[in-house]
Amino acid sequence: MSRVVIAGGGLVGSLLSLLLQKRGHQVFLFEKRPDLRGQQKDVGRSINLIVTSRGLNALKAAGLLNKALALTVPVTGRMMHSVNGELAYQAYGRDPSECNYSISRSELNRFLISESARTTENIFFEHHLDAVDFENKTATFNCKGVNQKWEYDILIGADGAGSVLRNLMHQDSGCLNQTTYLGSDYKELFMPLKNGKPALEKNALHIWPRGSHMLMALPNLDGSFTMTLYLPREGQENSFSNLKTEAAVRTYFEKYFPDALNLMPTAVQDFLKNPQGILGTVRTKPWVMKESVAVIGDAAHAILPFFGQGMNCGFEDCMVLMRALDQHGENWAKALSTYDLEQRPNADAIADMALENFYEMSDKVGDQNFLFRKKVEAWLEKNFPEDYRSRYGMITYTLIPYRLAFEAGLIQNEILGELAAGVSSVEELSLEKAKMLLHEKFHPFLKKNSIQLGRFRP
Ligand SMILES: Cc1cc2nc3c(=O)[nH]c(=O)nc-3n(C[C@H](O)[C@H](O)[C@H](O)COP(=O)(O)OP(=O)(O)OC[C@H]3O[C@@H](n4cnc5c(N)ncnc54)[C@H](O)[C@@H]3O)c2cc1C
């Protein structure tokens, strides 16, 4: 069994530590921050996440599914809020049991660290990976000003979007190490209970789409909502750089989110006080070096949050690596190579789709053509439940590789375009034409790639 050093005890590092311990490896987990356990909520930084099929699958493999689900709130659809307060609801799945799960990132992290600590004492906080000697296989961690050298057989960087290990790999081997910033940042805000009850429909993701900027809300277990405001950093009237005073922030909220502002008594203060997070896409190639060093999760592929898949993809990375270790009888050199070749194209695909979804969520959700296509797609899914699954459904409710879901989406666009052409209501759609299009365009693709559209049930 190998001595595995993991840098980064975030979501992916702590889950990976659990999965590798289960296989009998000797795992050492190093996290630069202090121990989360016993700390208060990470106010201003505790974004909520959506856990979907891939995340659930990995939690199940770690034996943690039911305990983790108990920390979540089911989210069955999107609720769109217009400026004048009108609501439009779109269910996510075919029925309410096909849903996403909202969870606080820091709660999930705390939970995974606690679970990991049940089986090992080798978790070290306030240890910052600083340097690696790739030839002699030693990693240097700095703890409160003191450097410690740790030998490893395998070194894995789960140290997030700004990964030190990825940068060191790049310096050593010149691997691709590219970060593309979106130009929009985010801030966490908060909506408390109203008269002891949730102020909004609890089992929904709420979106206030306003073109280049938008507000989102995800439910917490107690019925409050964690809100995220996405806004251009600068260069526009509605941007973080233009909203610096209490008066300017209040005027902005009154203009664009009046209904939400009424339910968020501390919105203006939270906006001025809470940290501003940066959003970007990280691409790395390869993910593996010298047969013994690898990056995983955001360290390998930070993506935009607009498909709710960053962590889900990171958890899937862990599953792909576990499968590769199975396949190669714990031969790490071979397993790491398989992990890189298999999962990197999937991460690239979800990175592209997350960017597409940014435009969809911020811009198109108010566009009539786009909304009609969504209706046509819902009609297709309803009438052909065995033969059609939207790209969104494939990503959130199945384990179909992201790369194939991306390709399927291109074919689906053609089909939806042909079906919707010259039609102005769902009642006018032709079942015969739909059947023919699916048969000619979609089924051959499914067959060629051995894709089963059935839902993943944890
Ligand atoms: C606004 C927003 C919303 C999101 N929503 C979703 C969602 O709905 N669903 C979803 O699946 N994903 C979502 N994501 C993405 C998700 O948060 C990330 O993909 C996920 O946190 C990645 O986990 P990770 O463990 O790879 O990295 P991180 O969570 O960043 O953890 C990295 C860890 O490494 C530590 N570290 C860093 N450097 C060092 C070092 N040198 N030495 C030691 N330790 C170090 C850090 O302290 C941290 O604990 C969202 C992201 C954002 C910003």
Sign for the CA dihedral angle at 397, 402, 404, 406 comes to positive
Pocket, ligand 1, Cβ cutoff 6 A? 7-13, 30-33, 47, 49-50, 105, 128-129, 158-160, 164, 186, 228, 277, 297-299, 305, 308-312, 314
The number of residues making up the chain comes to 458
State the fold for domain 3-41+105-180+281-359: FAD/NAD(P)-binding domain (3.50.50)
DSSP letter assigned to residue 439: I
| Of 255, 222, 262, 226, nearest in space to 238 by CA | 255
Task: Categorize the per-residue pLDDT at 371 as very low, low, confident or very high, splitting at 50, 70 and 90.
Answer: confident
Atom of ligand 1 nearest to the CA of 33: 47
How open is the CA angle 204-207-210, to the nearest 5 degrees?
A: 170
- Is the pLDDT reported for residue 414 higher than 90? yes
CB count, 10 Å around CB of 233?
Answer: 16
How many whole angstroms from 8 Cα to the centroid of ligand 1?
9
Mean pLDDT of the chain: 94
305 C-alpha to ligand 1 centroid (Å): 11
**Which runs of consecutive H residues, i.e. helices, occur in 257-386?**
258-262, 267-273, 298-301, 310-327, 332-362, 368-383
Q: Tell which one of 141, 311, 362, 396 to mutate to probe ligand 1, the residue whose CB is within 8 A of the most ligand atoms.
A: 311
Non-local (6+) Cβ contacts of 135 within 8 A are none
Distance of CA 369 from the midpoint of ligand 1 (Å):
35
Nearest residue to 236 via CA among 256, 217, 208: 256
Q: What is the pLDDT of residue 374?
A: 86
Higher pLDDT, 54 or 372: 54
Indicate whether 41 pLDDT > 80.
no
Q: How far is the CA of 328 from the centre of ligand 1 (A)?
A: 29
d(CA 273, CA 44): 8
Q: Where are the beta strands (DSSP E) in 36-134?
A: 48-51, 73-75, 77-81, 87-91, 100-104, 123-124, 128-133
pLDDT, one tens digit per residue, over 124-160 is: 999 999 999 999 999 999 999 999 999 999 999 999 9
Return the DSSP state at 386: T
3-state helix/strand/coil string of 174-203:
CCEEEEEEEEEEEEEEEECCECCECCCCCC
CA proximity to 70, closest of 16, 114, 107: 107
% of the chain with per-residue pLDDT over 90: 86
Q: What is the pLDDT of residue 450?
A: 96
What mean pLDDT do residues 21-41 have? 90
What is the model's pTM?
0.96
- Residue 42 reports pLDDT greater than 60: no
Expressed in angstroms and rounded, the spacing between residue 12 Cα and the centre of ligand 1 is 8
Question: Are 9 and 28 contacting, i.e. CB atoms less than 8 angstroms apart?
Answer: no
Domain spans in the chain, listed from the N-terminal domain onward: 3-41+105-180+281-359, 367-448
